[in-house]
Structure 1
Amino acid sequence: MDTTGMTRDPALVFEGWADHASRDRVSTDTTVHQLLKVAYPNHHITRTQTAHCDLLGFADAGHAIKTPDRSRGYDAIRKYVAPKLRHEKGNDKLEDEIRFGAWNYKWQNNHFIVFALSFRDYLLSRVLRFLYVVTPPPVDGAVDVEGHHSKTDELLLAAGKWTKEMHDEIWVFDNQQWNKDKELYRSVIGASWDDVILDPTIKSSLAQDVGSFFDNQSLYKTLRVPWKRGVILHGVPGNGKTVSIKAIINSLAARNPPVPAMYVKSLDGCSHPKIAMQAIFSKARIVAPCLLIFEDLDSLVEDKTRSYFLNEVDGLDSNEGILMIASTNHLDEIDPAITKRPSRFDRKYHFKVPEHALRVAYCRYWHAKVLDSPAIDFPVELCSVIADLTDGFSFAYIKELFISTLLALAGGTHNIETATGSSLKAADSTLDRKEEEKSSDKSKRLMPAVTIPSELEKNAFLQAILVEAKLLWDQMENEETDAVKRKKAAAVCAPAMPRFDFGYGDD
């Protein structure tokens, strides 16, 4: 097909768009559609959206051939893209954020011109991306009674199917729209249930809950109940909720066929919560069966968004095949209408501060990590001692204890004599510590007294652990003291609520 002869002036559409974009504008996508009809009066034109049918990505993946045609107009913002990690030198680049562009496009020996248009819709407060497929003059029978071109529709079906599939990506909702995120996928892939130190009963139940949902669509149908489910992971921060979600994402990605994950990152910038919730669930219904993740549910579903969230969960639209998993550090701050009604969130899993056995298991997990390092003398017998030392620590705090200790040893910042003379003596003197606890302020948290076997007293790794543990205990004490002060200050500053007498006497 001679694409250059399709119109007398290849830049006609671009000039019309540029004039439109320079004014107060309405219906930009429709305006460009009309401009294309004028420029290509004998050709068939189909409008679609990148979110539904990513023709350019389809070609980039090798399923079609696209060649830029700047003669038809081009407008873009040239951007500097820094490396994902600052130390990755040489991985920065420049790329164009295209606002208007055109490509000669070939798929299965069929030739098209594809125009791409990107603009901000100020009513929706988000960027919209449209694609226009210009197809050669149709032969008899190529266009159906509704005006659709058979060759164009074949292309859109193939590209649309490819667009719906995940290609080492996770759907992320942010800035009012869904986008595929390869970086997030790479950060999650490889996570497994082996990385999750959790009460065995809870761990097994959660994994089975997720797997059985996607295994039993036919059972839901037989029982005549909607094939949808909701699970909440709750508890204090740092005790495995996020790593459990990563393990779930990875286990579902390994299924055949894979189950895609959809992560609601933020509702920031949304023009209206109703539009945001509709966009979230509309896309999930298209992608389903899928995993829909609401991390920190209490910050996403607030007073202004609650009713719209419930409308989407309970409404007339089907949520078949959607497994919602939400996490929260503050279950009590979420409306009970959400958390305590089955069919919204059916199960709740409590992630508690780890008890001694789990702390030992987590220490063994770290022991295995450094087992092959000749510079680290970490006898397995230390796991129980460290577990005693970290009573009250979350997994996140224990992780920080190991990381800070390993970094300190690697950097040579620990003075062994100092460690032995202060932290080790304090930890070894169990009786003295108990007396100190009796005489001290009961509200103050002290580093637990631990009994150290004589053969481990001079272990350099343990000495470094003791120093870092003392720092972390002091940090925890300061954080809790500040939290108490803030709560007291809030109580003092809060206005007194008026008391109304309804004639029922005192409360």
Structure 2
Amino acid sequence: MGEQVASYEAGQQAVFDGLKHHFGAQRLGTELTMFENIRKAHPDFYVTCADPSKSDLLGYAKAGHAKIAQETGELFDVTRVYVAPVPRREGTGRLRDNTRFARWKLTWKELEYIIYEVKWTEYMSPFRVYYVLSPRKPGDAETSAATDDLLFACGAWTTELHKEIYVFDDAHWSKDKELWASVQGASWDEVILDPTMKTNLIEDVQGFFDNKNLYKSLAVPWKRGLILHGVPGNGKTISLKALINALGARADPVPSLYVKSFDACQGPKYSIRSIFSHARVMAPCLLIFEDLDSLVTDKTRSYFLNEVDGLESNDGILMIGSTNHLNSLDPAISKRPSRFDRKYHFKIPNEEERVAYCHFWRKKLVESHLVDFPEDLCVVIAKLSAGFSFAYMKELFVIALLTIARGGGLEEGVEAEDTKSSTDSDPVIVDHEPAPVENAPTSDTEEKDNVPEEDGPESKKKRTLPQVDVPEHLQDNRLLKVVKAQLKMLLEEMDNGDGDEAPVKKPADEENEMCGDYAQQMRILARQNARANE
């Protein structure tokens, strides 16, 4: 027994010595060199190389499917790293090992395996390999059936998502637990959209995954593509989160694959190929392309389209592309049938949708004793915020509520005033971003009719609050006063901006989707947030 233990430990010593010798001289083929070292050190064992990205043996064991323990002693190469909590003030952090050489003992189905974990840098990128050892038996074949069974079970587990979302960035797929956690609170109940559009979007997505047999019976490919478009801040992101969460909650969960970029040392075509290859493995799945117009360039368009509807089957893949600029997409992508053939326009919210959004905030504050938020105040705030995006309205509520919570108010810009109506009677004037809108001008002549003449800087109209009649019982409402003060402050800052605004346009009415210059709004919000955090 003692001789067996000594031989066992001598094997690890020989492998470790071989690794040090290899890295102490010119090296070629580290994976093969280590394979030969381990076979010589353990002649009575089968040795099998395994890719951790395909068979995560350590993760499989830590999930409770096997028992694993690291060999003790001094024959290892590990850097211990402190990982701060996120955010930094929550929790105490943790220690994580960056392992370059270690040996593990793994027990699975009453069989014992030795796992060598080896990591090195190759062509500026880290490369990691598991070497799986199982005992040889007389009459066995050249490969180990026991090891194959383990790798098969582990590989199937590794492919699945475990409270994770696949994210493609930096030319590779990774599993993101934090992104999965961030979508768990997303619900369609919190998405304020046109009811018909919301229903159609949900039915399009859920119906696709429910009707595989219907597609088959009609002899049409089981694949679809949707485009979510519109100016930023109007619900595209929260709708995607709600879709991901709803699909993950199905009886047979549908995985979501999220693409951030095509950037790769090997070129964007390599990334496109990797994306669709993995999506075909994970199908049925939801494949999301963020900012599709910036991902697909002239150089990659043909290759991308070949992957979308080329010879290879994309059965079970529902693609969703988001864009802030639909007109920037190549018509071959946005208008060609069988590619992205259904489009959802996320518009600047109308008054009804702004009222619904105000009710959403009122519901969140119903138990609060700091804020008096009567139900009929929702209509007043919605009228005052004509032309604002959902993101801008959210910031308006956040700033107003923070002001009240800090005890601020009059000293932060709320002046005593007659709240029956706004000081100025003109509707709010905001910049218009070119985008397809309902009732939009049909010609250049019609559009010019809506643009005031400008003889110089002095002739430019100032943005003002709309005239809104306020019921008598709301005239002294503190929340309303703070909201109006913040609105006036934001509009004044827009007028006193850097002078880089687009020519001011005054739509005929609110239904023409009054839309402020989004970049300028975001700059002002950043200044407001900085001020609120001081």
* TM-score band, normalised by shorter chain: 0.7 to 0.9
One-letter amino acid matched to 2:465: M
2:57 counterpart letter in structure 1: L
Moved more, 233-242 or 184-193: 184-193
Is the 2:424–2:464 Cα contact (8 Å) retained in structure 1? no
Question: How far does residue 417 in structure 1 lie from its aligned partner after superposition?
Answer: 9.7
Contact residue 7 and residue 39 of structure 1 kept, 8 A: no
Structure 2 residue identity aligned to 1:232: I
Does the C-alpha gap of structure 1 residues 164 and 196 become closer, same or farther in structure 2, counting only changes over 3 Å? Answer: same
Contact 1:49 1:131 in 2 (8 A): yes
User: TM-score if structure 1 supplies the norm length?
Assistant: 0.86
Identify the match of residue 236 of structure 2 among 241, 253, 261.
241
Tell me what 1:134 maps to: 133
Q: Aligned residue for 2:510?
A: none
Bigger drift between 101-110 and 305-314 goes to 305-314
Q: Which amino acid aligns with 1:449?
A: Q
Q: Which residue is 1:289 aligned to? A: 284
CA distance in 2, matches of 1:248, 1:292: 12
1:25–1:361 Cα change, 3 Å: farther
Change (3 A) 1:236 1:418: closer
Aligned equivalents of 1:162, 1:253: Cα separation in 2: 17
Match of 2:328 in 1: 333
Q: CA deviation at 1:289?
A: 1.3
Q: Which amino acid aligns with 1:179?
A: S
- Residue 79 (structure 2) aligns with: 77
| Whole-angstrom CA distance in 2 between matches of 1:296 and 1:45 | 46
Indicate conservation of the 8 Å contact 2:370/2:404, yes or no.
Answer: no
- DSSP-derived class of the 1:117 partner: strand
User: Could you say if the C-alpha distance between residues 262 and 436 of structure 1 is closer, same or farther in structure 2, counting changes exceeding 3 Å?
Assistant: closer
2:68 counterpart residue number:
66
1:362 equivalent among 353, 357, 377 = 357
The aligned counterpart of 2:372 is: 377
SS at 1:482 equivalent: coil
Using a 3 Å threshold, how does the CA distance of structure 1 residues 374 and 31 change in structure 2: closer, same or farther? same
The answer as to 2:159 corresponding to 1:160 is: no
1:111 aligns to what?
A: 112
Residue type at the aligned position of 1:448:
P
TM-fit CA distance, 1:105:
0.8
Q: Which amino acid aligns with 1:38?
A: K
Pairing 1:65-464 to 2, within 5 Å after superposition: 65-71=67-73, 73-88=75-90, 90-122=91-123, 126-140=125-139, 142-143=140-141, 147-268=142-263, 270-415=265-410, 419-421=414-416, 427-429=421-423, 431=425, 433=426, 441=459, 444-464=462-482
Could you tell me which amino acid in structure 2 is paired with residue 117 of structure 1?
A: V
What is the DSSP-based 3-state SS (H/G/I as helix, E as strand, rest coil) of the residue aligned with 1:238? coil
Quote the Cα distance in structure 2 between the aligned partners of 1:130 and 1:430: 70
Deviations 1:323-354 (A, max 9, x none): 11111111222222222222221211110000
**Contact 2:79–2:97 (8 Å) recurs in 1:** yes
Deviations along 1:207-247, whole A, 9 cap, x unmatched? 00100111111122222222221111110000000000000
Contact 2:116 2:130 in 1 (8 A): yes
Q: Which moved more, 1:303-312 or 1:167-176?
A: 303-312
Structure 2: how far apart are the matches of 1:3 and 1:394? 71
The question of whether the paired residues in 1 share the 8 Å contact of 2:223 and 2:314 is answered with yes
The farther-off stretch of 253-262 and 471-480 is 471-480
Equivalent residue for 2:58? Answer: 56
Contact 1:67/1:105 (CA < 8 Å) preserved in 2? yes
Q: Could you report, residue by residue, the CA deviation over 1:78-129 in whole angstroms, capped at 9, with x for unpaired residues?
A: 32211110221x422221122232211110111111122334442xx64443
Deviation at 1:406, TM superposition (A): 0.6
Unmatched 5+ residue regions in structure 2?
431-451, 504-534
Structure 1 CA distance for aligned equivalents of residues 392 and 301 of structure 2: 33
Cα pair 2:50 2:131 within 8 Å, conserved: yes
Q: Secondary structure at the match of 1:207?
A: helix
CA distance in 1, matches of 2:29, 2:56: 21
For 1:199, give the aligned amino acid: D
| Mean CA deviation greater in 240-249 or 472-481 | 472-481
| Aligned equivalents of 1:254, 1:418: Cα separation in 2 | 47
Q: Using a 3 Å threshold, how does the CA distance of structure 1 residues 358 and 9 change in structure 2: closer, same or farther?
A: same
How many angstroms does 1:378 deviate by?
A: 0.5
Specify the alignment match of 2:520 in structure 1.
none
Q: Matches of 1:462 and 1:29 in 2, distance apart?
A: 68
Decide whether the 8 Å contact of 2:78 with 2:97 is kept in 1.
yes
* Pairwise CA distance, 1:26: 4.8
1:236 touches 1:352 (CA, 8 Å); kept in 2? yes
Distance change >3 Å, CA 15–CA 247, structure 1 → 2:
same
**Gap change, CA 1:445 and 1:417, over 3 Å in 2:** closer
Assess if the C-alpha contact under 8 Å between 1:50 and 1:129 holds in 2.
yes
* Distance change >3 Å, CA 294–CA 408, structure 1 → 2: same
Contact 1:99 1:116 in 2 (8 A): yes
Q: What corresponds to 1:497 in structure 2?
A: none
Q: Distance in 2 between matches of 1:356 and 1:184?
A: 33
1:364-408, CA deviations, whole angstroms, 9 ceiling, x for partnerless residues?
Answer: 111101011011100011111111111110000000011111111
Cα deviation per residue 1:268-296 (whole Å; 9 max; x = unaligned)?
45442122222222222222211111112
Seen in structure 2, the aligned counterparts of structure 1 residues 356 and 278 have a Cα distance that, compared at 3 Å, is: same
Whichever residue aligns with residue 478 of structure 2, its letter is A
Give the deviation of 1:475 after TM superposition: 4.8
Q: Secondary structure at the match of 1:61?
A: helix
Select between 401-410 and 126-135 the one with higher mean Cα deviation. 126-135
Letter in 2 for 1:102: R
Determine helix, strand or coil for the equivalent of 1:341.
Answer: coil
Q: Partner letter of residue 50 of structure 1? A: P
Shift of 1:430: 5.5
Give SS of 2:106's match. strand
Q: 2:428, 2:465 within 8 Å by CA — same for their partners in 1?
A: no
Task: Report how many aligned residue pairs link the two structures.
Answer: 476
Query: CA distance change for structure 1 residues 184 and 417 in 2, over 3 Å: closer, same or farther?
Result: closer
The change in CA–CA distance for 1:476 and 1:154 in structure 2 (over 3 A counts) is: farther
CA RMSD of aligned residues (A): 2.8
Distance (whole Å) between structure 1 residues aligned to residue 500 and residue 119 of structure 2: 48
